[in-house]
Structure 1
Amino acid sequence: MIRNNLAILMSERGIRNSYLSAKTGISKNTISATSSNDGKMIQLETINKICQVLQVEPGQFFSYLPFDLEIKVFCDNLIYDEENVGVDEIGLPVKQPVINELFLDVYVSKVYLNGSKDFSLSGSLVSPVNLYGSVPPIIHIGGSDNDSLEFSKLWASIPKPFQSDIEKVLKSKIFDEIYGILSGKNQDYDFSKWHFDIEFYADTYLNDLEVKFF
């Protein structure tokens, strides 16, 4: 895995996107995408200009881990319903979507030059949740004792910036899987408008992970 450290370097220097854009001639959108590690490719000239302004070498601009993590998420079971939350102005019932049960299969592969290590994990919804409500759904992710422990140790060894990048991927994978299923069950709701964030961490015993949506 490789990522750039632009956001960290700018934060350390108290530099904003607008200032770096003015100094380098690079658009603010490009700087924002680069600092978020959302860009697929960074041109050498862009790196050159940024390094000159920040007074860093390319080795400081990038961080590297000698492996990749590939994540696949599959829904094993989802029980969906609707609940009445009141009535509208003409007295008709107002319903909102609820997930009563959710079970996920989460497969993570640590891929390196000469092979790979696979982890088989599972996810489950802690309690039923109204998707339009204020209480965020929580999904516990774990696995067999060995897989869960080994993956938790691996996760704890990964630097925080890389963890953030992996969290984005996990969030996207889970969202896409659930969104696809819910959209097929009921087209009256626009599930694409969910706003949520994600926390992904190991507990004290390094054997459970937790995903929170907000």
Structure 2
Amino acid sequence: MIKCNLAVLMAERKLSIQDVADNTGLSRTTISALVNENGKGIQFDTMDVLCELLKVSPGELFSYVLIKIDATIELKGENDEEVIFGDDEGNAVEIEKDYVILLTINIRCEDSLFTGNISGIIHASVNYINNTVDYTSNLVDSNLYSYLQKLPYTSREHITDAVEQDIFDFLMGLPTSGNNRAVSFSQKWDF
């Protein structure tokens, strides 16, 4: 992950967000997004003016931190009823199933601030519609959601996209009926 070191550099120089705004002409919103690592990117002219003010190189303003993630997805329950919608001839065109999934994420990071092991419950609903799939989920466990929100925006987006895709793949491997069900799935990513 790309980590912005602006907050540390400002603290070392005893600069506030307002001080940086006054000396660079950048908006407080832009500076705050970089300090809090909420931004999706940075313009070269913004990076240039910050490097000039702080007397640092882009490599000092930003650093790369390797993140390794192991995730385990485990089926904990499902509704006993399938909701089946049919066409006028009685053919099933939509089948809806609800699942409860335990998601465990182990994050190892060179920056120990983001290293941890967290798990949470996800409720997922799957609609099988005319041989296509519509999938929605919501994160029930607020601790998992809060933990992921602490990660910088770009890392959080990469992780949640990867986890969502793997949950989708896991659920698609479950038959719509019968007892031949997978019970767990593991995946690893490096960012």
How would you bin the TM-score normalised by the shorter chain? 0.3 to 0.5
**TM-score, normalising length from structure 2?**
0.48
**TM-score, normalising length from structure 1?**
0.44
Larger radius of gyration: 2
